[in-house]
Structure 1
Amino acid sequence: MPNETPQLPHFPRQPLFRPRSTTIFRVLLLGAVLAVVSFGGVVLQVYHSPYWNRVGLAPDQPVLFSHRHHAGELRIDCRFCHATVETSAFAGMPTTQTCLNCHSQIFTDTAMLQPVIRSAALHQPLHWQRVTTVPDFVYFDHSIHIAKGVSCTTCHGEIGKMSLTAKGEPLTMRWCIDCHRNPAPRLRAPEQIFSPVTPATRLPPSPVILASLHTQHLTNCSTCHR
Structure 2
Amino acid sequence: MANFFPRWTNWLPLKVAICGVIIVCGLTGATWYYVTPKYTRVGYEPIQPVPFPHDIHVSQLGMDCRYCHSFVEVAAHSNLPNTQTCMNCHSQVQKDNPKLEPVRASWKTGTPVEWVQIHRTPDYVFYNHAAHVNRGISCFSCHGPVNHMPEVYHAKPHSMAWCLECHRHPENFLRPEDQIFNLDWKTDDVKPATFVAKYGQPSDATEDLSKKKKLSQTEIGETLKERWNIRPPVNCQGCHR
TM-score bucket (shorter structure) = 0.7 to 0.9
Q: CA deviation at 1:22?
A: 1.8
Question: What secondary structure, in the 3-state scheme, does the structure 2 residue paired with 1:41 have?
Answer: helix
How far, CA to CA, are the matches of 2:18 and 2:91 in structure 1? 70
Whether 1:142 and 2:129 are equivalent positions in the alignment is: yes
Q: Which residue of 2 is the match for residue 63 of structure 1?
A: 50
1:210 matched to 2:188: no
Distance in 1, matches of 2:231 and 2:146, equals 29
Change in 2 beyond 3 A, CA 1:26/1:136: same
Question: Which amino acid in the other structure matches residue 45 of structure 2?
Answer: A
- Counterpart CA distance in 1 for 2:164 and 2:39 is 21
Q: Which residue of 2 aligns with 1:151?
A: 138
Aligned pairs for 1:29-44 (under 5 A) are 29-44=17-32
Q: Are the counterparts in 1 of residues 170 and 225 from structure 2 also a CA contact under 8 Å?
A: no
Displacement of 1:150 in angstroms is: 0.5
Question: Contact conserved, 2:43 with 2:154, CA < 8 A, in 1?
Answer: yes
Contact preservation (8 Å) 2:171, 2:222: no
Alignment TM-score, normalising by the size of structure 2: 0.80
Report the CA distance between 1:178 and its aligned residue. 1.6
Question: What's the CA shift string for 1:170-206, capped at 9, x where partnerless?
Answer: 1111111121111111111123211234637475358
Q: Contact between 1:56 and 1:168, CA under 8 Å: does it hold in 2?
A: yes
Structure 1 residues 181 and 149, CA, compared in 2 at 3 Å: closer, same or farther? same
**TM-score, reference length from structure 1:** 0.84
Corresponding residue to 2:15 among 20, 27, 47? 27
CA distance in 1, matches of 2:38, 2:234: 25
Which residue does 1:5 correspond to in 2? none
CA deviation after TM superposition for structure 1 residue 27, in Å: 2.5
Q: Unpaired runs of 5+ in structure 1? A: 1-12
In 1, are the aligned partners of 2:37 and 2:159 still within 8 Å (CA)? Answer: no
Identify the residue that residue 90 of structure 1 maps to in structure 2: 77
Q: What is the CA RMSD across the aligned residues, in angstroms?
A: 2.1
Q: Work out whether residues 71 and 196 of structure 1, in 8 Å CA contact, stay in contact via their aligned partners in 2.
A: no
Q: Is the 8 A contact 1:192 1:199 kept in 2?
A: no
Distance 2:174 2:114 in 1: 32
The percent of aligned pairs where both chains have the same amino acid is: 34
Structure 2 match to 1:8? none
The 4+ residue runs of structure 1 with deviation greater than 6 A are: none
* Cα contact 1:189–1:206 (8 A) shared by 2: no
Corresponding position: 1:76 with 2:63: yes
User: Structure 2 counterpart of 1:19, which letter?
Assistant: R
* 1:118-133 alignment, distance < 5 Å: 118-133=105-120
1:222 paired residue number:
237
How many angstroms apart in 1 are the aligned matches of 2:221 and 2:90?
Answer: 36
How much does 1:124 deviate? 2.1
Residue 18 of structure 1 and its aligned partner are, at CA, apart by 2.9
Determine which of 89, 101, 122 is the counterpart of 1:114: 101
- Counterpart code for 1:57: Y
Q: Find the aligned partners of 1:206 and 1:31 in 2 and give their Cα distance.
A: 52
- Tell me, in whole angstroms, the C-alpha distance in 2 between the residues paired with 1:176 and 1:56: 18
> What is the Cα deviation at residue 101 of structure 1?
1.5
Residue 224 of structure 1 aligns with an amino acid whose one-letter code is: C
Aligned to 1:18: 6
Match of 1:148, SS state, is: coil
CA change 1:110–1:176 in 2 (3 A) is: same
Matched, 1:173 2:160: yes
Residues 41-56 of structure 1: matches in 2 within 5 Å?
A: 41-48=29-36, 50-52=38-40, 54-56=41-43
